[in-house]
């Protein structure tokens, strides 16, 4: 049943590769809906763990987010491909698959979905590594879809940095295998967690350090974040949304799996320090780099670094519930904002704040959603991020990190200023009267739905979700 | 001296070779030789149908597909067709003489590490030396070719490290790993081809249009 979730998108991707553009788009939408339906079914059925795949609470949580984001991105991307047909698009794989680029793009989107699903549901830690490396490889052709020099450069940096980073995580996985092999345990994350007392702590420490650097690179923690702003700003809007909303979470989950094993083996303090230090650096670096930014997509990208840093701080402060809630809120908000940034980019042909004039009169619906999304992003109520940030700060205080808490509050204030001032400028009404441009439903509905989720998470968290979050926090927090 | 020690020494010699020269064709050949030695090592470590298949796959990916893709990108790049100097690495951040000195230091460090961990096993020494060399190449060289080679060397070192340490991991994981490396090499080869077409060079140091410095008010 779980394996179906991986096989269906992969097979559909293969089918899309060899079909015409129109058919490929149908396949994309169909697969996205089927995937969402299957995930919903799994939420109810909760199948028993298999030999290779298992959906525990944490995996299910991230898988559900991935599936929802992918479904909305699929509808967005079809409309996007509709009108971008005459733009410069060629695939880096064009020499292999012929010239028609769109089916190849769609196929790689589906491969991306398959690999993210595998990452969320892998039970074997080696398989988890394989899945994460596969996500890198599947996204490279997506980032440089328009083959501009900038996107080629961004894709190359992304490929090299993430591959090298992830190679370190492989070393960590082998260290863990060595520790597990000595006492005859298999590399399944749940059995390792249960038998963690028997593992050699020296090998475990080495494994955690290597995995932290490796998966941290992919998760966008500073100072390993340098690929992130380039890749997120150069790729097409829907791809940025998926990279930021879904892919960073998968890396976070991988890190949490290793963390859970180390915590169960009594290394909780060692791990918490790593999370606190790197989380704090990420929040600080992102806040400093967000000031006076000209490019709104880069601003959003740095905000991802900040938010993943906050999630890491939450784990370090011993509040995995808050960290997971933060990751969840960030996914929905950021994916919606990246899609909206695509709407603006299409209309204004510029990624500079200063070129966006009179947004409310030109793109009224986009402007409204953009304002709502930015409100959510900077952490104002009634949106969910406000509550997850509140929980995080509370956890930092409760665990006695007063200075960290004060500095993080300061960084959040800097972020607030850095984001809100250029956005207020954008939202000023136009001087000269320009009629509103056409806003297609497919460009408005997906971000609207995602923002509704964030609002819901802020107003009241449904009981079922709350229970899922609690058991996920228990599974990954090692407490 | 048994076969495995001989192969470990070949792997280490390839690392020295990689640090010592800037001729891309020789570098690709050295990386391919190292890949073949890695495959043979896997072959001689244990003998079963599965390991044979994996060793064959390693040799195929690292000693056949990878050099083919890189050579193809090199020969078809517009820069290389105009002047022969494009067949050399552009002036690296660390010169070749200094690189060799660093190489000696890294070998010492690798020997010390493996002595600490497993009483000086030659296989582990080679593994750590290869990992360090991979990192060194990644940070000290400028062209996209060298970065791809550096990645492959690093990955080979980790593979070797696993061979020196571990009790064997399941076939499915090994196959997935192999497939990932194959795809990575494949995509890197194609990207280099595209980059050198788009920019007329494959010099990563000059690929710096996307930087934060230019994005401020």
- CB distance A277 to A268 below 8 Å: no
Task: Please give the Cα distance from B124 to B114 (Å, whole number).
Answer: 6
The answer to whether A181 faces chain B, any CB pair under 8 Å, is: yes
A82 to each of A313, A442, B192, how far by Cα in Å? 42, 11, 30
Judged by CB atoms closer than 8 Å, whether chains meet at B215 and A295 is answered as yes
- Residue B66: predicted pLDDT: 87
In which residue are the tokens 């340490």 written? B165
Q: Do A164 and B154 touch (CB under 8 A)?
A: yes
B107 Cβ under 8 Å from any chain A Cβ: no
Q: Does B182 touch chain A (CB under 8 A)?
A: no
In chain A, which residues have pLDDT < 50?
A: 91, 95, 97-99
Residues of A in contact with B193 (CB under 8 A): 95
From A467's Cα to the closest Cα of chain B, the distance in A is: 33
The span from the CA of A297 to the CA of A320, in Å, is: 29
Decide: A234 and B210 in contact? Cβ < 8 Å: yes
The angle, 0 to 180 degrees and rounded to 10, between the axes of the packed helices A296-316 and A402-426 is 160
Q: Select the residue of A52, A174, A233 nearest B162 (Cβ to Cβ).
A: A174
Closest to A427 measured CA to CA, from A370, A376, A342, A476: A370
Rounded to a whole number of angstroms, the distance from the CA of B29 to the nearest CA of chain A is 21
Question: Is A134:A40 a contact under the CB 8 Å cutoff?
Answer: no
Residue the block writes with tokens 């042909």: A349
Any B CB within 8 A of A159 CB: yes
Tens digit of each residue's pLDDT (9 = 90 or more) over B119-164: 668 888 999 999 999 999 988 888 888 888 999 999 889 888 888 7
A351 to chain B nearest CA, in Å?
10
Closest residue by Cα to residue A145 from A97, A79, A88: A88
For residue A313, give how far its alpha carbon lies from the nearest alpha carbon of chain B (Å). Answer: 25
Pick from B28, B86, B38, B30: nearest CA to B59: B38
Q: What share of chain B is helix, strand, coil (3-state, %, to 5)?
A: 80, 0, 15
Q: Which residue of chain A is at minimal alpha-carbon distance from B156? A: A167
Residue A450 CB neighbours (<10 A)? 27
Of B154, B173, B212, the CB nearest to A126: B173
Alpha-carbon distance of B187 to A93, in angstroms, equals: 8
| Cα(A232)–Cα(A239) distance, integer angstroms | 8
Nearest Cα to B150, choosing from B79, B204, B87, B212? B204
Tokens 């939202």 correspond to what residue?
A: A427
Task: Give the closest-approach CA distance of B207 to chain A in angstroms.
Answer: 6
- Does the beta carbon of B170 lie under 8 angstroms from any beta carbon of chain A? yes
Q: Closest residue of A to B152, CA-based? A: A164
Q: What is the DSSP string of A162-195?
A: HHHHHHHHHHHHHHHHHHHHHTT--SBHHHHHHT
| B2 touches A at CB < 8 Å | no
- The whole-angstrom separation of Cα B157 and Cα B173 is 18
A108 touches chain B (CB under 8 A): no
Which candidate in B169, B181, B201, B207 is best for mutational testing of the A interface (most A CBs within 10 A)? B169
Q: Is A285 on the interface with B (CB under 8 A)?
A: no
Chain B nearest C-alpha distance from A387 (Å): 31
The whole-angstrom distance between A161's CA and the closest CA on chain B is 10
SS3 label, residue A147: coil
Using CB atoms, which residue from B138, B154, B169 is nearest to A187? Answer: B169
Closest Cβ–Cβ partner in A137, A149, A187 for B199: A149
Contacts of B213 (CB under 8 A, 6+ apart): none
Whether the CB of A147 is below 8 Å from some CB of chain B: the reply is: yes
Question: Which residues in chain A are contacts of B216 at CB distance < 8 A?
Answer: 292-294
B170 to chain A, closest Cα gap in Å: 9
Q: Which residues of chain B have pLDDT under 50?
A: none
The 10s digit of each residue's pLDDT in A280-328 is 999 999 999 988 888 899 999 999 999 999 999 999 998 899 999 999 9
Indicate yes or no: CB of B161 within 8 angstroms of CB of A167.
no
Nearest beta carbon to residue A294 from set B169, B179, B217: B217
Per-domain residue ranges of chain A = 2-477
């Amino acid at each position: 049943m779980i394996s179906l979730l991986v096989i269906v998108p992969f097979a559909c991707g293969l089918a899309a590769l060899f079909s015409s553009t129109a058919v490929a788009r149908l396949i994309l939408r169909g697969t996205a809906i089927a995937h969402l339906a299957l995930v919903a079914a799994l939420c109810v059925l909760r199948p028993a763990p298999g030999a290779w795949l298992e959906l525990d609470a944490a995996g299910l949580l991230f898988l559900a987010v991935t599936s929802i984001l992918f479904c909305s991105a699929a509808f967005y991307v079809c409309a996007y491909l509709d009108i971008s047909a005459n733009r410069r698009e060629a695939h880096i794989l064009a020499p292999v698959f012929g010239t028609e680029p769109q089916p190849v793009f769609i196929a790689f989107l589906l491969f991306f979905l398959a690999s993210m699903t595998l990452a969320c549901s892998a039970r074997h830690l080696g398989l988890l590594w394989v899945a994460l490396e596969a996500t890198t490889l599947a996204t490279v052709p997506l980032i440089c879809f328009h083959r501009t020099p900038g996107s080629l450069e961004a894709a190359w940096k992304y490929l090299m940095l993430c591959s090298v980073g992830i190679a370190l995580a492989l070393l960590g996985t082998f260290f863990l295998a060595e520790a597990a092999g000595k006492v005859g345990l298999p590399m399944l994350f749940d059995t390792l967690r249960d038998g963690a007392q028997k593992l050699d702590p020296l090998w475990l420490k080495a494994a955690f350090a290597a995995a932290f650097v490796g998966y941290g690179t992919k998760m966008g923690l500073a100072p390993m974040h340098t690929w992130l702003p380039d890749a997120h700003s150069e790729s097409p809007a829907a791809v940025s949304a998926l990279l930021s909303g879904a892919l960073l979470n998968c890396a976070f989950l991988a890190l949490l799996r290793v963390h859970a094993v180390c915590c169960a083996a009594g290394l909780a303090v060692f791990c918490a320090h790593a999370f606190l230090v790197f989380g704090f650096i990420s929040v600080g670096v992102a806040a400093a780099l967000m000031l006076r930014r000209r490019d709104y997509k880069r601003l959003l990208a740095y905000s991802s670094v900040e938010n993943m840093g906050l999630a890491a701080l939450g784990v370090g402060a011993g509040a995995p519930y808050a960290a997971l809630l933060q990751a969840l809120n960030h996914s929905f908000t950021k994916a919606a904002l990246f899609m909206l940034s695509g709407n603006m980019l299409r209309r204004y042909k510029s990624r500079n704040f200063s070129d966006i004039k009179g947004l409310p009169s030109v793109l009224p619906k986009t402007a409204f959603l953009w304002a709502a999304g930015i409100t959510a992003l900077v952490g104002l109520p009634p949106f969910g991020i406000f509550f997850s940030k509140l929980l995080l700060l509370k956890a930092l205080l409760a665990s006695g990190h007063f200075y960290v808490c004060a500095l993080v509050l300061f960084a959040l204030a800097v972020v607030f200023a850095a984001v809100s001032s250029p956005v207020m400028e954008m939202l000023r009404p136009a001087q000269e009267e320009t009629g509103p441009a056409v806003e297609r439903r497919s460009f408005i509905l997906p971000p609207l739905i995602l923002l509704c989720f964030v609002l819901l998470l802020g107003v009241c968290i449904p009981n079922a979700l709350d229970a899922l979050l609690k058991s996920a926090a228990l599974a990954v927090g090692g407490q | 001296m048994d076969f495995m020690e001989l192969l470990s020494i070949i792997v280490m010699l390839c690392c020295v070779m990689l640090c010592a020269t800037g001729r891309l064709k020789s570098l690709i050949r050295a990386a391919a030789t190292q890949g073949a030695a890695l495959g043979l090592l896997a072959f001689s470590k244990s003998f079963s149908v599965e390991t044979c298949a994996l060793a064959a796959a390693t040799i195929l990916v690292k000693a056949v597909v990878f050099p083919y893709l890189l050579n193809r990108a090199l020969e078809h790049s517009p820069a290389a067709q105009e002047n022969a100097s494009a067949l050399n690495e552009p002036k690296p951040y660390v010169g070749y003489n200094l690189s060799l000195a660093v190489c000696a230091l890294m070998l010492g460090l690798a020997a010390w590490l493996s002595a600490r961990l497993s009483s000086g096993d030659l296989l582990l020494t080679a593994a750590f030396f290869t990992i360090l060399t991979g990192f060194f190449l990644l940070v000290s060289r400028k062209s996209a070719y060298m970065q791809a080679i550096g990645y492959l060397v690093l990955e080979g070192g980790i593979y070797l490290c696993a061979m020196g340490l571990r009790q064997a991991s399941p076939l499915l994981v090994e196959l997935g790993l192999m497939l990932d490396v194959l795809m990575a090499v494949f995509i890197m080869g194609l990207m280099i081809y595209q980059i050198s077409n788009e920019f007329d060079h494959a010099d990563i140091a000059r690929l710096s249009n996307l930087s934060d410095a230019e994005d401020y008010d």
